[in-house]
Structure 1
Amino acid sequence: MTAPSTARGSTRDTGRWIEHWDPEDEGFWESRGRRTARRNLILSVISEHIGFSVWSMFSVLALFMGPEYGIDPAGKFFLVAVASLVGATLRVPYGFAVARFGGRNWTVISAAMLLVPTVALLAVMEPGTSYTTFMLVAVLTGVGGANFASSMTNINSFYPLRLKGWALGMNAGGGNIGVAVVQLVGLLIIAVAGAAQPRLLLAAYVPLIVVATVLSARYMDNLGPVRNDTGAFRESVRDGHTWIMAFLYIGTFGSFIGYSFAFGLVLQNQFDRTPLQAASLTFIGPLLGSLIRPVGGRLADRLGGAKVTLWNFAAMTGAVGIVVAASVRESLPLFIAGFIVLFVLTGLGNGSTFKMIPGIFQAKAHARGLRGEAAAVHARRLSGASMALIGAVGGFGGVGINMALRQSFLSSGSGTGAFVVFLGYYVACAAVTWFVYLRRTAPAPAAESSPGGGRTAPAEQEARPAYAEV
Structure 2
Amino acid sequence: MNGTTTNSRTGGRWIRHWDPEDPEFWESTGRRTARRNLVFSVLSEHIGFSIWSLWSVMVLFMGPEYGIDPAGKFFLVAVPTLVGSFVRIPYTVAVARFGGRNWTVVSALLLLAPTLAAAYVMHPGTSYRTFLLVAALTGVGGGNFASSMTNINAFYPARHKGWALGVNAGGGNVGVPVIQLVALAVIGLAGAGHPRLVLAVYLPLIVLAALCAALFMDNLAPVKADTGAIAAVVREKHTWLMSALYIGTFGSFIGFSFAFGLVLQNQFGRTALQAAQLTFLGPLLGSLARPLGGKLADRWGGARITLWNFAAMAAAAGTVTWASAIRSLPLFLTGFVALFALAGLGNGSTYKMIPGIFDAKAQDLIADGTTPADAAAWSRRMSGAAIGVIGAVGALGGLFINLAFRESFRTVHTGTPAFVTFLAAYAACSLLTWAVYLRRPAAAPHGADAPAPARV
TM-score normalized by structure 2?
A: 0.97
Aligned residues of 1:444 and 1:467 also touching (Cα < 8 A) = no
Is the 1:242–1:386 contact (alpha carbons within 8 Å) kept by the matching residues of 2? yes
CA contact (8 A) 2:149 2:165 kept: yes
From 186, 196, 200, the counterpart of 1:199: 196
Using the alignment, how far apart are the partners of 2:308 and 2:75 within structure 1?
33
Match of 1:99 in 2: 96
The answer on 1:469 being equivalent to 2:438 is no
Distance 1:29 1:445, change over 3 A: farther
Is the CA contact (8 Å cut-off) linking 2:357 and 2:452 kept in structure 1? no
1:138 aligns with 2:135: yes
Letter of the 2:389 counterpart: L
Tell me which residue corresponds to 1:87: 84
> 1:4: how far off?
1.7
Name the structure 1 match of 2:324.
Answer: 327
Contact in 2 for aligned 1:436/1:442 (Cα 8 Å)? no
**1:215-243 Cα distance to aligned partner (Å, 9 max, x none):** 10111111111112222111111111111
For the 8 Å contact 1:408–1:415, the answer to whether it is kept is: yes
Q: Following superposition of structure 1 onto structure 2, how do residues 327-366 of structure 1 map, counting pairs within 5 Å?
A: 327-366=324-363
Match of 2:365 in 1: 368
Match in the other structure for 1:384: 384
C-alpha displacement of 1:118: 0.3
Local SS of the residue matching 2:174: helix
Instruction: Give distance in 2, aligned partners of 1:58 and 1:259.
Output: 13
Compute the displacement of 1:375 (Å).
2.7
Match status 1:7 vs 2:6? yes
Q: Is residue 2–residue 29 contact of structure 2 (8 Å, CA) maintained in 1?
A: no
What is the alpha-carbon distance in structure 2 between the residues aligned to residue 190 and residue 210 of structure 1? 25
How do residues 12-91 of structure 1 correspond to structure 2 at under 5 angstroms? Answer: 12=10, 14-91=11-88
Change (3 A) 1:214 1:5: closer
SS at match of 1:226: coil
Give the C-alpha shift of residue 442 in structure 1. Answer: 6.2
Aligned to 2:110: 113
On the 8 A contact 2:265/2:272 being kept in 1, the answer is yes
Q: Deviations over 1:46-98 (max 9, x none)?
A: 00000000000000011000001111111110111101100111111111111
CA distance in 2, matches of 1:209, 1:272: 34
CA distance in 1, matches of 2:120, 2:413: 33
Please point out which of 144, 161, 174 is paired with 2:158. Answer: 161
Q: What CA distance in whole angstroms lies between the structure 1 residues aligned with 2:85 and 2:419? A: 22
What residue is the counterpart of 2:213 in the other structure? Answer: 216
Structure 1 match to 2:176: 179
Residues 442 and 162 of structure 1: CA distance in aligned 2, closer, same or farther (over 3 Å): farther
Alignment of 1:239-250 (within 5 A): 239-250=236-247
The aligned runs of 1:435-446 (5 Å cut-off) are 435-441=435-441, 443-444=443-444, 446=446
Deviations 1:398-454 (A, max 9, x none): 00000000000011000100111111111110111001100022654659xxxxxxx
- What is the Cα deviation at residue 247 of structure 1? 0.4
Question: What's the counterpart of residue 433 of structure 1?
Answer: 433
Gaps of 5+ in 1: 448-461
Q: What amino acid does structure 2 have at the position aligned with 1:18?
A: I
C-alpha displacement at 1:467, in angstroms?
Answer: 1.8
TM-score by length of 1: 0.94
Give the 5 Å matches for 1:207-286: 207-286=204-283
The answer as to whether partners of 1:321 and 1:423 remain within 8 angstroms in 2 is yes
> For 1:171 and 1:442, how far apart are their aligned partners in 2?
38
Structure 2 contact 255–399 (Cα < 8 Å) conserved: yes
The Cα of 1:8 is off from its aligned counterpart by 2.2
Residue-by-residue CA offset, 1:346-374 (whole Å, 9 max, x unaligned): 00000000000000000111111245433
Q: Note if contact 1:91-1:147 (Cα within 8 Å) is conserved in structure 2.
A: yes
Counterpart Cα distance in 1 of 2:299 and 2:100: 28
- Structure-to-structure mapping, 1:404-423, within 5 angstroms: 404-423=404-423
Aligned identity (percent) is 66
What CA distance in whole angstroms lies between the structure 2 residues aligned with 1:206 and 1:117? Answer: 10
In 2, the alpha carbon distance for the partners of 1:188 and 1:430 equals 39
**What one-letter code is carried by the residue in structure 2 that aligns with 1:284?**
L
Contact 1:48 1:175 in 2 (8 A): yes
1:193-215 deviation digits (Å, cap 9, x = unpaired): 00000000001000000010011
Amino acid corresponding to residue 257 of structure 2 in structure 1: S
Partners of 1:99 and 1:230 within 8 A in 2: no
Q: Is the 8 Å Cα contact of residues 442 and 466 (structure 1) preserved in structure 2?
A: no
Task: Supply the distance in 1 between the matched residues of 2:440 and 2:242 (Cα, whole angstroms).
Answer: 19
Q: Distance in 1 between matches of 2:187 and 2:375?
A: 53
Cα shift at 1:466: 4.0
Distance (whole Å) between structure 2 residues aligned to residue 261 and residue 431 of structure 1: 27
- For 1:418 and 1:47, the matched residues in 2 are separated by 33
Instruction: Output the CA distance in 2 between the equivalents of 1:131 and 1:109.
Output: 30
The one-letter amino acid of 2:229's match is A
AA paired with 2:6? A
Partner of 1:304: 301
Q: In the TM superposition, what is the alpha-carbon distance from 1:7 to its structure 2 partner?
A: 3.2
User: Residue type of the partner of 1:394?
Assistant: G
Alignment length, in residue pairs?
A: 451
CA RMSD in angstroms comes to 1.4
Partners of 2:4 and 2:29 within 8 A in 1: no
CA distance in 2, matches of 1:111, 1:445: 45
- Aligned counterparts of 1:275 and 1:467: Cα–Cα separation in 2: 48
Tell me how far apart the structure 1 counterparts of residues 45 and 53 of structure 2 sit (CA, whole Å): 12
